[in-house]
């Protein structure tokens, strides 16, 4: 049916086929409202513009989606392109539909093909919109599908831009959501625009092949039905040739010509039960030879989006390979609609398919690691890994299946089994042969991890690992290693501080100090001393207050900020390290308290779209202890005793050096990053003036670590 001919009656009938209880009145009202709003608007093709929203709604009826999604499709461009407002939609069709229309509008306004940093932020917004209601992305995908089907009316450069965006973002997203049919069509429509000659050549070769070999699909389908009947398995068998882009990609990946490419046909077996799936597999493997490494059991190991099926590739006597998918009807329903199955109807009732995942749980799982990444590049890397990666299946020495993204290494494998195994990894064997840790794992390989006592993760592993789980565990271990260093330093500082008042830093004394300072034991106390969060003098004072001269009441560092909720904890943002006396603002993190930023911190721009997370804060007035780190970028002369004199000046200014890192070493100068514990911003300015006056200091500035970058050399 031509989209321009789809009337309100036609659309209602399309919905009523799978949902007889549909709210016909609301759908008709949305149809009439949308048509009235778009009156006088036309597409590039010259068709009335309203033919587009109607076509999008029709695409969504093919997925048997609920009334709210269908109505949203009819209205999805009204707020963006007509005089209709959010309030109008809410009044006429309810808040649920208004929120969905608003979500689609915001997605439409995202420029998803811009620079890397901007793209990371746009992905973040895209996933935020998805997490609110996944139906927003279902409408957007249907919108993009219809636009790609009618893309010929656009200018050539606009076609190329939309096709590239579809290939890079929307097609992988459809695949990640389990909507494989939509992924394939979006890819093929994009392929038609981006490489028309390549696509035409594939189609010509298909026609030639069919002329030479006859109808291969019909012949193999008949053979499979015969084998299944003889095995007593009741099943339907369907066959098809793969899409041109899928074949082109295989040719590129395997560097093979079309004539040498074997698995260009796909077959699907739909059975009555799980048991029949495995019986069908046995019957097919009994007739045709299974191709090693091409078997995947997604029934026992389902994908995170609910997809279940058995995949195998078999070859006949002529050496031609075919791919076979075996699944039940319920599994097939989810395979066709993916996560969208949650909102679909079957036989007039909301789908109760046991394999359809809860979209809230799915999106929470998908975004869990993204929320942990504050760095834009890390976030974008994680998104791309999750969305673009095909999977490989490998085995433990005991035969257990481990699922990893394509391109994964033995380090990813080790962490997939257990963090402890990953941390202790020193090497790996693949199929019994020792391999480097950066080796890429292939389907069907058996991996054995070699461990050693005392081994800890190396910084270089971050470049080797590909999974979010492995990278997170490596970063955590590296932080803990720093903590061990701080504990060791804290032991020395504590011993020295207690010795100055004639006391010993015994375990009992340190335990008492930790309790008095409300810290979690001796190790936490020593780590905070070593990292200059607290001073040895404060620890001594917490136990022997009468032995430490009172230099005036200091404001407790744990309650130095005004404006927090009772019991709410805070930490200074490592990017800007705000000091008492500077204007500050807080950003809330669920379960982690509040992170305090300086008001001019560049990182705050990432939270502009989330005003509900901002808290107005200020520092307490009064005397603050010298426990707040600031980093100084110093260029100093390379002469005898220069560094010592600078350290003496810092000590004389009642500041404490907590860390020192050399950035450049030249014959005539050094460049260093020096972390200094200070009282407040006035203390910082005073210290910088003192150092600037020193003749051996060529340059000095405050260094702020935005997005983890080092200073340029």
- If asked whether residues 581 and 697 sit together in one domain, one would say no
Q: Which residue is it, tokens 């340190």?
A: 510
Residue 107 included in any domain: yes
Token output for 653? 């200014």
Q: How far is CA 443 from CA 294, 313, 327, 393, 404, in A?
A: 7, 13, 21, 5, 10
Point out which residues pair with 352 in neighbouring strands.
none
Task: Decide: 305 and 177 in contact? Cβ < 8 Å.
Answer: yes
Residue 548 included in any domain: no
Q: For 49-90, how does the pLDDT look when each residue is reduced to its tens digit (9 = 90+)?
A: 899 999 999 999 988 888 999 999 999 888 888 888 889 999
- If asked whether residues 599 and 657 sit together in one domain, one would say no
User: Does the pLDDT value for residue 114 go beyond 50?
Assistant: no
Q: For 198-248, how does the pLDDT look when each residue is reduced to its tens digit (9 = 90+)?
A: 888 888 877 877 776 667 788 888 999 999 999 999 999 998 877 888 778
**Buried/exposed code over 631-649 (b: 16+ C-beta within 10 A; e: otherwise):** bbbbbbeeeeebbeebeeb
- Radius of gyration of the CA atoms of the chain, in A: 32
Query: What's the confidence (pLDDT) of residue 374?
Result: 46
- If asked whether residues 18 and 158 sit together in one domain, one would say yes
Q: How far is CA 680 from CA 227, 676, 689, 691, 699, in A?
A: 81, 11, 15, 17, 22
- SS3 assignment, position 620: coil
Query: What's the confidence (pLDDT) of residue 25?
Result: 93
Q: What residues contact 309, with CB distance under 8 A and at least 6 apart?
A: 298, 299, 325, 326, 327, 331, 335
Please choose, from the candidates 305, 228, 300, 211, the residue with its C-alpha nearest in 3D space to the C-alpha of residue 268. Answer: 228
Q: Rounding to the nearest 10 degrees, give the CA dihedral for residues 274, 276, 278, 280.
A: -140
- If asked whether residues 169 and 228 sit together in one domain, one would say no
Task: Residue 306: count other Cβ atoms within 10 Å of its Cβ.
Answer: 24
Task: Residue 329: count other Cβ atoms within 10 Å of its Cβ.
Answer: 12
The CA distance from 710 to 704, in Å, is 9
Q: For 158-169, how does the pLDDT look when each residue is reduced to its tens digit (9 = 90+)?
A: 898 889 888 877
| Averaged confidence pLDDT in the chain | 81
Q: Which domain holds residue 286?
A: 206-350
Task: Decide: 498 and 505 in contact? Cβ < 8 Å.
Answer: yes
Query: What's the confidence (pLDDT) of residue 320?
Result: 73
Residue 525 included in any domain: no
- If asked whether residues 655 and 608 sit together in one domain, one would say no
- If asked whether residues 24 and 132 sit together in one domain, one would say yes
For strand 401-405 and strand 391-395, is the pairing parallel, antiparallel, or unpaired?
antiparallel
Residue 355 included in any domain: no
Decide which of 327, 350, 373 is a domain's last residue.
Answer: 350
Mean pLDDT of 176-181: 78
- If asked whether residues 54 and 161 sit together in one domain, one would say yes
Query: What's the confidence (pLDDT) of residue 376?
Result: 46
Instruction: Tell me the catalytic residues.
Output: 80-81
Tally of structural domains, the chain:
4
The CA distance from 421 to 413, in Å, is 9
Evaluate the CA torsion angle 134, 137, 141, 147 in order and state its sign. Answer: positive
Q: For 613-670, how does the pLDDT look when each residue is reduced to its tens digit (9 = 90+)?
A: 888 888 887 788 888 999 999 998 888 778 888 888 888 888 888 888 888 888 788 8
Residue 292 included in any domain: yes
Strands (DSSP E) contained in 535-627 are 561-562, 570-572, 584-589, 593-598, 614-619
- If asked whether residues 695 and 638 sit together in one domain, one would say yes
- If asked whether residues 108 and 248 sit together in one domain, one would say no
Task: Decide: 699 and 673 in contact? Cβ < 8 Å.
Answer: no
Decide which of 194, 226, 251 is a domain's last residue.
Answer: 194
Point out which residues pair with 391 in neighbouring strands.
405
The CA distance from 558 to 534, in Å, is 10
- If asked whether residues 189 and 308 sit together in one domain, one would say no
Residue 15 included in any domain: yes
Residue 511 included in any domain: no
Decide which of 605, 622, 639 is a domain's last residue.
Answer: 622
- If asked whether residues 80 and 25 sit together in one domain, one would say yes
- If asked whether residues 180 and 285 sit together in one domain, one would say no
Residue 228 included in any domain: yes
The model's confidence at residue 115, banded by pLDDT at 50, 70 and 90, is very low
Q: For 571-583, how does the pLDDT look when each residue is reduced to its tens digit (9 = 90+)?
A: 999 888 999 988 8
The CA distance from 440 to 459, in Å, is 19
Query: What's the confidence (pLDDT) of residue 282?
Result: 93
């Amino acid at each position: 049916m031509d989209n321009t001919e789809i009337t309100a009656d036609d659309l209602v009938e399309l919905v009523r086929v799978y949902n007889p209880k549909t709210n016909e009145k609301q759908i008709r009202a949305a149809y009439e409202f949308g048509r009235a709003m778009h009156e006088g608007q036309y597409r590039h093709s010259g068709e009335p513009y309203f033919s587009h929203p109607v076509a999008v709604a029709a695409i969504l009826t093919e997925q048997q989606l609920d009334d709210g999604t269908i109505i949203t499709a009819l209205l999805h461009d009204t707020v963006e392109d007509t005089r209709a407002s959010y309030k109008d939609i809410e009044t006429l069709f309810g808040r649920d539909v208004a929120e969905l229309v608003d979500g689609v509008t915001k997605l439409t306004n995202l420029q998803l093909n811009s620079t890397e940093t901007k793209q990371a932020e746009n992905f973040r917004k895209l996933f935020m919109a998805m997490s609110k209601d996944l139906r927003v992305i279902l409408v957007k995908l249907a919108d993009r599908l219809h636009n790609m089907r009618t893309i010929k009316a656009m200018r050539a450069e606009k076609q190329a831009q939309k096709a590239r965006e579809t290939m890079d973002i929307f097609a992988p997203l459809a695949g990640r959501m389990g909507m494989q049919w939509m992924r394939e069509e979006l890819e093929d429509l994009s392929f038609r625009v981006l490489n028309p000659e390549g696509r035409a050549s594939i189609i010509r070769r298909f026609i030639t092949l069919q002329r030479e070999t006859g109808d291969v699909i019909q012949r193999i389908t008949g053979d499979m039905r015969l084998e299944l009947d003889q095995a007593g398995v009741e099943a339907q068998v369907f066959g098809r040739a793969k899409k041109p882009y899928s074949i082109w990609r295989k040719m590129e990946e395997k560097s093979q010509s079309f004539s040498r490419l074997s698995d260009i046909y796909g077959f699907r077996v739909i059975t009555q039960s799980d048991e029949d799936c495995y019986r069908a597999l046995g019957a097919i493997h009994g007739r045709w030879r299974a191709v090693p490494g091409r078997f995947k059991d997604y029934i026992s190991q389902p994908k995170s989006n609910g997809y279940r099926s058995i995949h195998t590739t078999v070859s006949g006597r002529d050496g031609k390979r075919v791919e076979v998918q075996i699944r039940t009807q319920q599994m097939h329903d989810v395979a066709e609609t993916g996560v969208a199955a949650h909102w679909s109807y079957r036989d007039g009732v909301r789908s109760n398919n046991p394999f359809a995942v809860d979209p809230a749980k799915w999106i929470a799982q998908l975004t869990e690691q993204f929320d942990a990444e504050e760095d834009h590049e890390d976030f974008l890397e994680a998104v791309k890994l999750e969305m673009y990666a095909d999977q490989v299946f490998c085995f433990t020495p005991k035969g257990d299946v481990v699922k990893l993204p394509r391109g994964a290494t033995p380090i990813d494998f080790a962490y997939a089994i257990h963090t402890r195994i990953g941390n202790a990894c020193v090497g790996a064997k693949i199929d019994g042969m020792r391999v480097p840790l950066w080796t890429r794992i292939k389907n069907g390989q058996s991996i054995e991890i070699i461990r050693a006592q005392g081994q800890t993760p190396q910084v270089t592993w971050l470049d080797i690992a590909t999974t979010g789980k492995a990278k997170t565990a490596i970063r955590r271990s590296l932080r803990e290693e720093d903590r061990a260093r701080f504990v060791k330093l804290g032991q020395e500082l504590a011993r020295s501080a207690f010795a100055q008042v004639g006391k010993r830093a015994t375990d009992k004394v340190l335990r008492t100090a930790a309790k008095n300072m409300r810290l979690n034991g001796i190790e936490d106390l020593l780590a905070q001393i070593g990292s200059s969060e607290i001073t040895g003098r404060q620890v001594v004072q917490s136990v022997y207050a009468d032995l430490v001269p009172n230099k005036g009441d200091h404001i407790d560092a744990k309650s130095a900020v005004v404006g927090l909720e009772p019991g709410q904890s805070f930490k200074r943002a490592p990017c800007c390290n705000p000091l008492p006396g500077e204007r500050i603002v807080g950003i809330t993190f669920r379960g982690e308290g509040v992170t305090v930023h300086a008001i001019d911190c560049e990182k705050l721009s990432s939270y502009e779209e989330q005003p509900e997370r901002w808290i107005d804060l200020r520092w307490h007035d009064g005397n603050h202890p010298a426990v707040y780190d600031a980093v100084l970028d110093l260029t100093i002369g390379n002469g005898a005793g220069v560094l010592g004199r600078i350290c003496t000046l810092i000590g004389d200014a009642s500041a404490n050096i907590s860390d020192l890192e050399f950035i450049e070493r030249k014959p005539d100068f050094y460049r260093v990053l020096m972390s200094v514990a200070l009282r407040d911003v006035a203390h910082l300015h005073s210290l910088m003036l003192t150092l600037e006056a020193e003749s051996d200091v060529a340059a000095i500035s405050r260094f702020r670590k935005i997005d983890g970058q080092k200073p340029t050399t």
